[in-house]
Copies of this chain bind each other. A is one copy, B any other.
Amino acid sequence: MPEDVAAREVLEDARSLAATGEWAKLVALVTSLHPADLAELVLALSEDDRRQLLSHLPTDVVGQLFEYAEDDEMRDLIRGVGVEDLPAVLEEVEDDVVADVIQQLHPDDREETLAALDRGEEVAELLQYGDESAGGLMSRGFISLNESITVAQAIDYLRVLRPPTEKAYYLYVVDSEKRLQGVVSIRDLLVSAPRTTLGEITQRDVHAVTTGTDQEEAARMLQRYNLLAVPVVDDEGRLEGIMSADDLIDVLQEEATEDMYRMVGLDDEEKVLAPVRRSIKRRMPWLLVNLMTAFLAALVVAPFEDTIAKASALAIFMPIIAGHAGNTGTQVATLVVRGLALGEVKYSDIWTILRKEAMFGFVHGIGAGLLTATLAVGLSLNPWLGAVTFVALMLNLLVAGAVGATIPLGLKKLGADPALASSIWLTTFTDMFGFACLLGLGTLFVSHLQ
């Protein structure tokens, strides 16, 4: 049975058990699920059923759900658990996830919830770090040992500690000041003689980041060097936490989603299956900004009404001149935004890119311009219309490439998100410039175009 069909059947069973109030049966059904699957099911229930089910589940099971939830899903879970019952659930959850949950709380509830936690201070420390920094994402669940310890001692220590499987792949070797010296993999422990010291098998060339490092940069490092975890140190080199591959994969996915969405002016948290009210609240404001930018383009056209009335064939070519340059520039903006995200492009590449896009625009402009001029002459039998459309498209394409590259690089240089509505600014520009070129030339040569 395909997995999503199975999941849907379990969801239907869960809904009917909730409808008849058979909570004991429902709890038995759902606690056999993987927490990731259970989280999906809980979030798919109605708010009422969700609250009821969460109140019947053991706190450690509820706690696990938070580890598999995104920000907006966390808020739904918090509402389901209730702020008063939240501290009991959070005691079962790792510090870094607790910090994420606290950030999703209403500001008024944050302090109270923190105060009710045994580990409130540790969590408060994590909350000091920026939301998107390594410090904000790192987990405290690392294992660190001194290099003078022997392999046999380290194994004994692990036997007593019994760390969770997914945390126990690397042991971090630190000095007496807790400064990170290197890393020992559990495999190395296993295959080394018991009396070897950790110092002898420590791999010292470690890729670490500091607590202030942007999470995206840490994720890129993990990907570049094929690591399973990245240690996080403070400014003095003391080990503060680790970021594991599963957390950093989520970062890479979120950043990719964010870039795709922001380029077209969408809120990061928007989903196509979200309730329509939420979508209206999230999409409408930017769309109306967007509409205002379209008004700007229209205002460029307005002064040329006379020209259009005399040479109405120009109107046929308005969408081609503006739209094609918009699409061409969007390609360049997309390449730059993604190149920046993948660490392949830097601000200092701007001149190389501008030079290259100028050459590209020239070659492409000749090709596209000739085709458009051919259509113009074919439709109007007037070579002047061909010449005007050729020159207007050529100019607009040359500028589109330059602007397509400059917008994201400029946003980056200003410290803003390079994707921020890039394609909206760009197409506003190519519309305005394209109309000005086409209709301006049209006005100059209007006597030949009538």
**In this assembly, does A359 line the interface, its C-beta being within 8 Å of a C-beta of chain B?**
yes
Inter-chain contact A338/B166, CB cutoff 8 Å: no
Most chain B CB within a 10 A radius of its CB, from A36, A266, A335: A335
A270 to B331 CA separation, bound complex (whole angstroms)? 10
A14 to B121 CA separation, bound complex (whole angstroms)? 50
A4 to B220 CA separation, bound complex (whole angstroms)? 13
Shortest C-beta distance, A434 to chain B (Å), equals 9
Give how many copies assemble into the complex.
2
Inter-chain contact A272/B190, CB cutoff 8 Å: no
Q: A228-B228, A246-B226, A260-B338 are in contact. Are A305 and B312 (CB under 8 A)?
A: yes
Inter-chain contact A295/B424, CB cutoff 8 Å: no
A290 to B328 CA separation, bound complex (whole angstroms)? 9
A264 to B261 CA separation, bound complex (whole angstroms)? 14
**In this assembly, does A283 line the interface, its C-beta being within 8 Å of a C-beta of chain B?**
yes
**In this assembly, does A1 line the interface, its C-beta being within 8 Å of a C-beta of chain B?**
no
A315 to B311 CA separation, bound complex (whole angstroms)? 12
Q: A191-B159, A313-B305, A342-B253 are in contact. Are A334 and B165 (CB under 8 A)?
A: no
Chain B residue at minimal CB-CB distance from A408: B272
Inter-chain contact A364/B284, CB cutoff 8 Å: yes
Chain A contact residues (Cβ within 8 angstroms of B): what range? 35 or more
**In this assembly, does A353 line the interface, its C-beta being within 8 Å of a C-beta of chain B?**
yes
Chain B residue at minimal CB-CB distance from A322: B319
Inter-chain contact A162/B191, CB cutoff 8 Å: yes
**In this assembly, does A323 line the interface, its C-beta being within 8 Å of a C-beta of chain B?**
yes
Contact partner, A249, options B249, B319, B424, Cβ 8 Å: B249
A332 to B279 CA separation, bound complex (whole angstroms)? 11
Inter-chain contact A253/B250, CB cutoff 8 Å: no
**In this assembly, does A431 line the interface, its C-beta being within 8 Å of a C-beta of chain B?**
yes
**In this assembly, does A58 line the interface, its C-beta being within 8 Å of a C-beta of chain B?**
no
Inter-chain contact A280/B331, CB cutoff 8 Å: no
- A277-320 interface bits toward B, Cβ cutoff 8 Å, 1 = contact, 0 = none: 00110011001101100110110011001101110110111111
Interface set, chain A 348-379, CB cutoff 8 A to B: 349, 352-353, 356, 359-360, 363-364, 367-368, 371-372, 375, 379
A76 to B396 CA separation, bound complex (whole angstroms)? 35
- A62-99 interface bits toward B, Cβ cutoff 8 Å, 1 = contact, 0 = none: 00000110000000000000000000000000000000
Inter-chain contact B356/A279, CB cutoff 8 Å: yes
Inter-chain contact B315/A226, CB cutoff 8 Å: no
Shortest C-beta distance, A161 to chain B (Å), equals 8
> Which B residues are CB-close (under 8 A) to A10?
none
**In this assembly, does A181 line the interface, its C-beta being within 8 Å of a C-beta of chain B?**
no
Chain B residue at minimal CB-CB distance from A307: B312
A427 to B324 CA separation, bound complex (whole angstroms)? 11
Shortest C-beta distance, A40 to chain B (Å), equals 9
**In this assembly, does A30 line the interface, its C-beta being within 8 Å of a C-beta of chain B?**
no
Chain B residue at minimal CB-CB distance from A327: B290
Shortest C-beta distance, A255 to chain B (Å), equals 9
Shortest C-beta distance, A304 to chain B (Å), equals 8
> Which B residues are CB-close (under 8 A) to A158?
187, 190-191
**In this assembly, does A137 line the interface, its C-beta being within 8 Å of a C-beta of chain B?**
no
Shortest C-beta distance, A97 to chain B (Å), equals 12
Inter-chain contact B364/A36, CB cutoff 8 Å: no
**In this assembly, does A405 line the interface, its C-beta being within 8 Å of a C-beta of chain B?**
yes
Chain B residue at minimal CB-CB distance from A343: B4
**In this assembly, does A256 line the interface, its C-beta being within 8 Å of a C-beta of chain B?**
yes
Inter-chain contact B266/A334, CB cutoff 8 Å: yes
Contact partner, A305, options B188, B305, B315, Cβ 8 Å: B315
Inter-chain contact B427/A287, CB cutoff 8 Å: no
User: Can you spell out 13 A-B residue pairs with CB atoms less than 8 angstroms apart?
Assistant: A68-B226, A163-B187, A223-B250, A223-B253, A227-B246, A264-B331, A271-B335, A273-B339, A294-B324, A295-B372, A297-B319, A298-B375, A309-B309
Q: Write the residues of chain A forming the contact surface with B, with a CB cutoff of 8 angstroms.
A: 4, 34, 36, 67-68, 155, 158-159, 162-163, 165-166, 168-169, 185-191, 205, 222-228, 245-246, 248-250, 252-253, 256-257, 259-261, 264-266, 270-273, 276, 279-280, 283-284, 287-288, 290-291, 294-295, 297-298, 301-302, 305-306, 308-310, 312-313, 315-320, 322-324, 327-328, 330-332, 334-339, 342, 344-346, 349, 352-353, 356, 359-360, 363-364, 367-368, 371-372, 375, 379, 405, 424, 427, 431, 435
